[in-house]
Amino acid sequence: MDKSTFEERKTIRGEMHVSQRHDSAHKHVSGTADYIDDMPEPAGTLHGALGMTDRAHAEITAMDLSAVAAVPGVMLVLTAKDMPHSNDISPSHLHDEPVLADGLVQFHGQPAFAVIAETRDIARRAARLAKITYRDLPHFTDILDAVAHGGQLVTQPLTLQRGDAEAELEKAPRRLKGSMRVGGQEHFYLEGHIALAIPGEDDEVTVWSSTQHPSEIQHMVSHVLGVPSNAVTVNVRRMGGGFGGKETQGNQFAALAAVAAKKLNRAVKFRPDRDEDMTATGKRHDFLVDYDVGFDDEGRIHAVHANYAARCGYSSDLSGPVTDRALFHADSSYFYPHVKLTSQPLKTNTVSNTAYRGFGGPQGMVGGERIIEEIAYQLGKDPLEIRKLNFYGDKGSGRDVTPYHQQVEDNIIAQIVAELEESADYQARRQAILAFNRESRVIRKGIALTPVKFGISFTMTAFNQAGALVHIYQDGSIHLNHGGTEMGQGLYIKVAQVIADSFQVDLDRVRITATTTGKVPNTSATAASSGSDLNGMAAFDAARQIKDRLVGFACERWQTTPENVSFVANHVKIGEELIPFPEFIKQAYMGRIQLSAAGYYKTPKIHWDRASGRGTPFYYFAYGAAVSEVSIDTLTGEYMVDRVDVLHDVGRSLNPAIDLGQIEGGFVQGMGWLTTEELWWDDKGRLRTHAPSTYKIPLASDRPKIFNVKLAEWSSNAEKTIGRSKAVGEPPFMLPISVLEALSMAVASVADYRECPRLDAPATPERVLMAVERLRNR
Q: Catalytic site residues?
A: 730
**Cβ-based neighbours of 379, under 8 Å, separated by 6 or more:** 297, 299, 386
Q: Which residues pair with 284 in a beta bridge?
A: 185
Helices 531-558 and 581-590: crossing angle in degrees, nearest 10, is: 70
Which segments of 293-333 does DSSP mark as H helices, in order? 319-328
Q: Where are the alpha helices (DSSP H) in 9-71?
A: 25-30, 66-69
Q: How far apart are CA 670 and CA 739, in angstroms?
A: 10
Cα 623 to Cα 201, 414, 560: the distances in Å are 51, 10, 46
Phi, psi of 50 (to 5 degrees): -85, 140
Helix (H, G, I), strand (E, B) or coil at 400: coil
Q: Phi and psi for 551 in degrees, rounded to 5? A: -65, -40
Q: What is the DSSP letter of 756?
A: -
Q: Which of 36, 45, 184, 92 is nearest to 485 (CA)?
A: 36
How many CB atoms sit inside 10 A of residue 759's CB?
23
* Environment class of 660 (CB within 10 Å of its CB; exposed 0-12, middle 13-18, buried 19+): buried
Among 480, 501, 504, CA closest to 599? 480
Report d(CA 377, CA 755) in Å as an integer. Answer: 5
CA dihedral sign, ordered 351, 355, 360, 366: negative
Instruction: List beta partners, residue 179.
Output: 290
| CB environment 513-549: b (16+ within 10 A), e (fewer) | ebbbbebbeebbbbbbbbbbbbbbbbbbbbbebbbeb
- CA atoms within 13 Å, Cβ hemisphere of 106: 18
Which amino acid is it at 83?
M
